[in-house]
Amino acid sequence: GGSSVKIRGGNSIVGGSEPLYVIDGFPIYNSAVGNSGNPLAAIDQSTIVSVEVLKDASATAIYGSRGANGVIVITTKRGVSGQGNIDFDYYYGVQTVRNKIDLLNPVQFAQYANEVQQNLGNDPFYNDLNNLPARTDWQDEILRSAPISNYSLTFSGGNEKTKYAVNGSYFNQDGIIINSGFERGSVRVNLDQKVNKSVEIKTS
């Protein structure tokens, strides 16, 4: 599911309570519904340098009414002058259910149902306990061991006038519940160009 963040609780009964996300200067609203349009789901965590939380007057002073629910400022990696760098980050894991709920098998359920009816003074529901449906553990039917992996490749560098940082990443999470997977491919380019002593252009 999509990430939902509340800063000092809910601030509105009718409107949303999600903060405004600002990633490298670009404001992005969070729908908080699934992963579609969710800022935290759309960005590769390995590219994040800092996360700042603005609340109260500090948020509204800069972003006005858009910052009424608070502002989360995210800064990603940028290039630095000097030798170029190539960074590769990879991890792999497997997600499993830590503990499943113990359920009654068909015979145990039939015995329990009969005891309830007998306590109420009624005839038992099940007369033949040897002719019951086969047991199906629905937890086993929908849960599974699911792999999770992430690949991230970053090129960065530059000189006194031009600095760059280019990142490509691929994330895949199958999900322990069937059909609950999440897959993301992303490319991020940060380019800083110094025009002269007084003007510098930054692009993300």
pLDDT 10s per residue in the chain (204 long)?
677 888 877 666 666 778 889 999 888 877 655 555 678 888 888 899 999 998 878 777 888 888 888 899 999 999 988 889 999 999 999 999 999 999 888 899 999 999 999 999 999 888 888 888 888 888 999 999 999 999 999 999 999 899 999 999 999 999 999 998 999 999 999 999 999 989 999 999
Cβ atoms of residues 135 and 105 within 8 Å: yes
Give the residue among 54, 68, 75 at the shortest CA–CA distance from 11: 68
pTM of the shown model? 0.74
The pLDDT of residue 156 is 94
9: left (phi over 0), alpha (psi -120 to 50) or beta: left
Q: Is-contact 20 63, C-beta < 8 A?
A: yes
In angstroms, the CA 84 to CA 189 distance is 15
The pLDDT assigned to 12 comes to 63
Strand partners, 151: 90, 170
User: Residue 87's pLDDT is what?
Assistant: 93
Q: What is the pLDDT of residue 35?
A: 55
Q: What is the pLDDT of residue 85?
A: 92
Give the Cα separation of 53 and 73 in Å (integer). 6
Strands in 200-203's sheet, in edge-to-edge order, are 82-95, 146-158, 162-173, 182-194, 200-203
Query: What is the structure's pLDDT at 133?
Result: 82
